[in-house]
Amino acid sequence: MYLPKKLLSQYKQINKKYLVLIFSFGCIILLLIAAEAYYLNSENVKPAIFKTHEEKIFENYKNKIFGIDISHYQGRVEWGKLKKINKETEISFIIMRAAVGEDDEDQEFSTNWYHAKKLNIIRGAYHYYRPDENSIKQADNFISIVNLEKGDLPPVLDIEAVPSLQSIKSLKKGLKKWLNKVETHFGIKPIIYTSDSYYKNYLSDTTFQNYIFWIANFNPVMHPQFKKWKIWQFSKTGRIEGINHDVDFNVFNGNIEELKKMTKK
């Protein structure tokens, strides 16, 4: 059929418009199909789960018990809210700083000591040892502040610092004097708190081999280097309800009955 040139030109323009519309519509359909396929596939794909070091410890030691340690650095504790470390983990014990050096007392100790007992949580007290101060005066300071009762954990000697005015040999003699005097007074053998590295460098000889050790190691490991640890302080950045600052998390290498056996009779 013959068409005039003008009509033929109009016919071609109309065909081009239809082709553009058909192509555009086809692209939209393809995009909708692709989007639906992506949505259906994404529902079946589980997102990657990255566990924190703390979460790994809680999972790995789920058959053990956990506790915290506190001092005035944690501020005023809201004891009515202090029940669990996380949704699954009860606070089984709390160890609190009582004394520092020869003559300092932690300003929150008496309040913390009272409320832990009231909540029926196993409690303990520790002394922060200053290596260049007199060991006997430090022991006397701790004894004057702490009144251990039945069911309390043994006294804890916290040694972290290296002396600048005496030798390591003299330091160890002083530590032993503190331990002996405190044990004589309370009738129970103290626990030693220190870090993995401090133990390895200064305390790993036979002088302290008969003591229970509470070891600090915040590295992303699944256990301390010191194999005979009884308590492991594995985090210093824990957050729990009732405390508005970072708090130390600890795991006891045993169950609640084993912890109770360690307490004062």
What is the DSSP secondary-structure string of 58-116?
A: HHHTTTSEEEEEE-GGG-S--GGG--BSSSS-BEEEEEEEEEETTTEE-TTHHHHHHHH
What is the model's pLDDT at position 26?
A: 54
What is the model's pLDDT at position 87?
A: 86
Whether the pLDDT of residue 49 is over 70: the answer is: no
Whether the pLDDT of residue 75 is over 50: the answer is: yes
Do 109 and 231 lie in one domain? The reply is yes
The CATH number given to whatever domain includes residue 91 is 3.20.20.80
The string of pLDDT tens digits covering residues 168-200 is 999 999 999 999 999 999 999 999 999 999 999
For residue 157, the SS3 value is strand
**pLDDT > 70: what percent of the chain?**
81
Where in the sequence is the domain holding 13, given as residue range(s)?
Answer: 1-45
Q: How many separate domains does the chain show?
A: 2
The string of pLDDT tens digits covering residues 3-41 is 455 444 554 555 555 555 555 555 566 565 555 555 445
Do 67 and 186 lie in one domain? The reply is yes
Do 94 and 4 lie in one domain? The reply is no
Residues β-bridged to residue 70: 96
The string of pLDDT tens digits covering residues 159-170 is 999 999 999 999
Do 35 and 87 lie in one domain? The reply is no
Known catalytic residues? 69, 160
Q: Tell which wins on pLDDT, 44 or 120.
A: 120
Going along 152-227, which residue ranges are E strands?
156-158, 191-195, 212-216
**Cβ-count burial 19-40 (b if 16+ within 10 Å, e if not):** eeeeeeeeeeeeeeeeeeeeee
d(CA 29, CA 33): 6
pTM of the model: 0.82
Do 27 and 114 lie in one domain? The reply is no
Do 40 and 165 lie in one domain? The reply is no
What is the model's pLDDT at position 174?
A: 99
Helices and strands: H and E segment counts in the chain: 7, 9
List the end-to-end C-alpha distance of the chain, in Å, as a whole number. Answer: 115
